[in-house]
Each structure stands twice: as C-alpha cells, then as structure tokens.
Structure 1
Amino acid sequence: MELRHLHAFLAVAEELHFGRAAKRLQMAQPPVSQQIRQLEKELGVQLFERNTRSVRLTSAGESFLDPVRAVLDGIDVAVHAAKAAGQGEYGRVTVGFAGASSHETLPLLTRAVAAAHPGIELVLKGQTYADVALSRVAEGSLDLGFVRLPVTQPGVEARVIDEEELICALPSDHRLAGRSRIPVAALAEERFVSFPAGAGSSLRDAMVKACEEAGFTPRVLQEAPDSHTILALVAAGVGVTLTLTSCQHIQQTGLVYRPLAGPAVRLQAALAWRKDNPSAALRTVLDVARTALPTP
C-alpha cells in the first residue's frame, strides 16, 4: 500500500466518479482504476460498487474513508511541521544562564521569541555560570549561552548585549558605607561573600583579579550560588562583595552599593553560540535577539 493508492481512493470516494477523480489527481483515468484495484487486492475487500452509470462506496469503503482522511491530514501536518522547522519556525533551543545580570536581559529575549515565534521552545538551564555556559556551547550541549567576554573557544561566535561595571556591596552600617567611592585596597582586611570557587563564575574571577591588582587576595569566608543570596548575606553583615551594576535592582534592608574608586572595571555580557550549529530555530532566535537585545 502506497500513499498514491490512498490519494486515489480519497479522490474517487469524494467525487464518486473515476473521470472527475482522475482530473483532480491530474492523471489519466486508467491508472486511477488500476490503483483502486491494487488497493482492494491489498486489503482483500471491495471498496466501491461501480457500473457503467454509477460509483458508490461499499460498507468497507465507508469504514475506510475517515481513517484515510486522518492519515493524509496527518501527513500534511508532518510535512508542514518539517518545512516550518527547516525554516526556523519550530524547534527547541537550549539556553544557559546564571546570575542577577541575566534576569534583566533573559526575559526580554524569551518574551520576544514567544511573541514572534510561538512554535519555538526555549529550554532554560539556570545556574549555568558564564565560563560553564561557554564550555557547554563549545561542546554542543547548549545552543545558546549568556557569557562574558573574552570568548576564545574555536568555532564559537559571540555578540555583546550589555556592558556593566564592577561595584562594591556592603552592609549599610559598615565603616566604609559613608564614602561616595570605595578603593578596592580599602577592602584588604574584609571578609568576602562570593560565588563558589571553580563554579565558572566570571564575576568571582573579576572580583579576585581586581583585589589582586590592589595588592591582596580576598578572604572568601562564605559562598552562595546566586547574587540574591550573596547580597542577602552582605545585608546580614556576613561580609562584603564586589558585584555588578545590573544587580543594583536587588534592594534589601541593610544593604548599600558604592562605585569603586579609580578606573572603572567593565565586564561585557554576550550571547554565544557555535558557528556550525545546524539548528534553524537557533538562527531564528539569534535574529530576534538582535532586536530584543541590541549591542549597546
């Protein structure tokens, strides 16, 4: 049994005339009659009662009709889905992100994709720190990652979507809270709260680098997996931290933010993806991102 047999059956069943069915199928009448005979032989039943004046369905033909319509409709849906997926209208895109900084940019992207291309599903992988996200994009287990520059992995492309500055967060009753700007060197004897070491956090790396350039290694006495928890610990007086300007929307009693003295330490946030990723849905998401998250 082949699809052409089903198309021939449906045409004859709906037209109840071999000539009109052949015209609808854009073929000669003898091949249509032959296909119906082949189908009946395959099924072992007679589908039509026909004579020189009329054609009508048998009870077997009537029972066969609706399932055949369902099969052919299903094939049409499958063909449409395949074409749409090939054009980037359907599909799944896995996205890795972490930290409070992505809490502003990520919703802009997800809402824009949902509005423009509802057939694309974004599978969000939280607590995927920048370095980890970049590694997973490079190995192919993530389609898209919220990362930090520089991006040096071969085959990985990136586009900047935001630029942030390193700032200090400290308890409101801290001895330095009254200053308008905090020299990093003034934090040398402080206890720090930060992301776990080795978790792939670019923010922790930037904090350590800034402290080392100021002449000391930060004493991280408490670690937490996200900026909200880190800043809650700072507000509780556990220690201080260096965070990003994008985190200033996190407001808690007992917490203050102060810019750093000296030249600004800037971090660039970016989207990263593999250049050879074949996903058409990913290309569609990247097109949406150019408008939703333009390069500053």
Structure 2
Amino acid sequence: MNLYHLRYFVTLAHLEHYTKAAEILAITQPSLSHAIASLEKELGVKLFEKDGRNVALTKCGQAFLKDVEQALSMLDSSVSKLQMTGNGEGRIDIVELRTLSSAVVPNYIKGFLDSRPEKKIDFYFHSSTGVTTDMIQGLKDRKYDIAFCSLMENEPLIDFVPIVRQKLVLIVPNGHPLERYQTIELKDTLEYPQIVFSKGCELRQIIDQLFMKCGGYPPIAYSMEEDQGIAGLVSAGFGIAIIPDMPLLEYMPVKKIGITTPSWERLFYMATLKDIYQPPVILDFIKYVKEHADL
C-alpha cells in the first residue's frame, strides 16, 4: 500500500473535491484519481461516491479515514522523534544506585543540559532495586541506556567507566565524645554502640571486614538497609555509624570524621552496552560524563 496514496486519500476526504485536493497536493487531477482508484482496488471497497460536483466518503471510507489518520499521526510522530534523535535530541533512559541519586548523577545531568540549552533532551529515571546485577540485566534487555552502578566482573558485553570515588566516614551526633576528632582510627570506635547496615548488604560485609582488621566488633544498636536512614538515626542520637560519604551529611546535625586506619574507598561506574548503535544524544551524554568524571 502506497503511503502517498493514503495521504492523498486523507486530503481528498477533507476537501471532498478532486480539483481542490490536487491543487493542495501539487499533483494533477488524473494522478489523484488514479491513486484513489488504485487504493480502492487494493482494498476491494469504494471509499468515495459522487455528491453533485463534489465527492463524499462512503461508510467504508469514513471508517477507513479514522484509522488512516490515526496511523499517519503515529507515523509522523515517530519520524519526528527519530529526526530529533538524529539531531542530538531525544530521550535517555537511566538507572542509578541510590547513593548516586542525591548529587552525583543529577549534577552530571544538569551540567549536560546547561551545555545544550537549545536541544530538547529528556531524561527518564527508572526505579531501581539498588542491586547492580539487576541494572546490568536491564541494560542487556535494552530497558536502560545507561546505568550508574558498581563494577561487575566477567561482563564482556558491558563497558564500565569509573566516574566517582566514595570513601567511608564515621558520623556521630552533635555532642558525642568523638565529635572533637577530625580523623580517627576505626579501632577507637569499638566501645560505642553503632548503627550498621543490615546483613546481606554489600557494605555490611565490607565494614565487617574492616572491623576484623581492628581485632574487635562494636555493640550494635540498630541495623538498616539504607545509608540515609542510618544517618537519620545517628542525628537523633541513637548511636554512631560508618557510612559512605555523601552530600546529605553536610545538611544534617552530625559530625563527619575521616577514617585513617584501615582506610577504604570504592569506585562507581557508568555502564553501557558495547558494540551497539547509540543515538547521538546518548553518545554526547556518555562523552560529557567521561570528560567530567570526579576521580
């Protein structure tokens, strides 16, 4: 079925006059008549009937017009979106670890958008389980364009680019005996009740290993899965905690103390699928993040 014939049909259906429709379409009247006749022959029904010097849609033509206009509208919208994408515009689907959602990723996005004010670029944020393995699977399933996550070994299909470092810090409530310190050794925190990550959390395993190096383990006051929740309990005076350094701490009634021994830090990554076609807008954003990685 000829796409031009469908557009001719829609124009004629609205004008109800072959001569006027042909003028609007910039074709000859015989060409328009031939196109409509071909369309009717292919469909096996009459789309128009004479109405004096004009034409009118038949019942079949009325039903066909509704469907054709809807189909052409969807097609035109899709073409427009693809043309925008080819021009460095469009939508980017991302997923991120919660710890990167408060400042790191938003700062990259804001900087990117500010550098291209003339472009129409939309970011779509997908909800996350907080598990890197799920994010990587989402990349493979083409659910996401970019994931901001931890590194996973043995993933030959994924390109991991380091974008930011994160250290562990000690936080204590205001007025706590350790508040006077700027840095501290982890062993000096063992006598104080602590709020820890729940068992099964990756950071709980890491912090437990650090305590093992100190030769002891502190009393546990509470355990939680999320670092923001832990910081909230510390600010309320329920204990102290070892958590990742994050911008939110600057606005909470807690004292942040650097840990000298044993020290620990981890890298976070931007993950994308290798060897696939990426629209220009996605390639531009990937390049921007690489150029502005905070390492």
* Distance (whole Å) between structure 2 residues aligned to residue 74 and residue 165 of structure 1: 49
Letter in 1 for 2:33: S
The alignment status of 1:189 with 2:187, answered yes or no, reads no
Shift in Å at residue 74 of structure 1?
A: 4.2
Normalising by the residue count of structure 2, what TM-score does the alignment of the two structures yield? Answer: 0.71
Contact 2:10 2:65 in 1 (8 A): no
Shift in Å at residue 12 of structure 1?
A: 6.4
* Distance (whole Å) between structure 2 residues aligned to residue 259 and residue 140 of structure 1: 36
Contact 1:168 1:259 in 2 (8 A): yes
| 1:125–1:110 Cα change, 3 Å | farther
Contact 1:95 1:124 in 2 (8 A): yes
State the SS of the aligned residue for 2:191: coil
**What residue ranges of structure 1 are gaps of 5+ in the alignment?**
51-55
| 1:272–1:5 Cα change, 3 Å | closer
Aligned to 1:246: 246
| 1:261–1:34 Cα change, 3 Å | closer
Residue pairs, 1:52-71, within 5 angstroms:
57-60=54-57
State the SS of the aligned residue for 1:35: helix
Residue pairs, 1:190-269, within 5 angstroms:
190-200=192-202, 203-247=203-247, 249-253=249-253, 255-262=254-261, 264-269=263-268
Aligned to 2:161: 159
Shift in Å at residue 187 of structure 1?
A: 1.9
Contact 2:11 2:21 in 1 (8 A): no
Shift in Å at residue 49 of structure 1?
A: 7.2
* Distance (whole Å) between structure 2 residues aligned to residue 247 and residue 205 of structure 1: 23
State the SS of the aligned residue for 1:59: strand
State the SS of the aligned residue for 1:176: helix
Letter in 2 for 1:140: G
| 1:235–1:243 Cα change, 3 Å | same
| 1:212–1:277 Cα change, 3 Å | farther
Letter in 1 for 2:147: G
From 133, 137, 157, give the equivalent of 2:135. Answer: 137
Contact 2:93 2:125 in 1 (8 A): yes
Shift in Å at residue 103 of structure 1?
A: 0.7
Residue pairs, 1:1-296, within 5 angstroms:
2-9=2-9, 16-17=18-19, 24=26, 32-40=32-40, 42-44=44-46, 46-47=48-49, 57-60=54-57, 72-84=72-84, 89-91=89-91, 93-99=93-99, 101-111=100-110, 118=120, 120-126=122-128, 128=130, 132-133=131-132, 135-140=133-138, 143=144, 144-148=146-150, 150-154=151-155, 155-200=157-202, 203-247=203-247, 249-253=249-253, 255-262=254-261, 264-275=263-274, 280=279, 283=283, 285-290=285-290, 293-296=292-295
Shift in Å at residue 169 of structure 1?
A: 1.0
State the SS of the aligned residue for 1:125: coil
- State the Cα RMSD in Å: 4.0
Letter in 2 for 1:138: I
Letter in 1 for 2:175: D
* Distance (whole Å) between structure 1 residues aligned to residue 165 and residue 201 of structure 2: 22
State the SS of the aligned residue for 1:58: strand
Letter in 2 for 1:222: Y
Contact 2:102 2:248 in 1 (8 A): no
Normalising by the residue count of structure 1, what TM-score does the alignment of the two structures yield? Answer: 0.71
Q: Select between 214-223 and 162-171 the one with higher mean Cα deviation.
A: 214-223
* Distance (whole Å) between structure 2 residues aligned to residue 181 and residue 45 of structure 1: 83
Contact 1:98 1:127 in 2 (8 A): no
Identity of aligned residues (%): 18
Contact 2:162 2:268 in 1 (8 A): yes
Contact 2:19 2:29 in 1 (8 A): no
Letter in 2 for 1:136: D
* Distance (whole Å) between structure 1 residues aligned to residue 129 and residue 71 of structure 2: 44
* Distance (whole Å) between structure 2 residues aligned to residue 136 and residue 110 of structure 1: 22
Report the number of matched residues: 278
Shift in Å at residue 241 of structure 1?
A: 1.3
Contact 1:227 1:247 in 2 (8 A): no
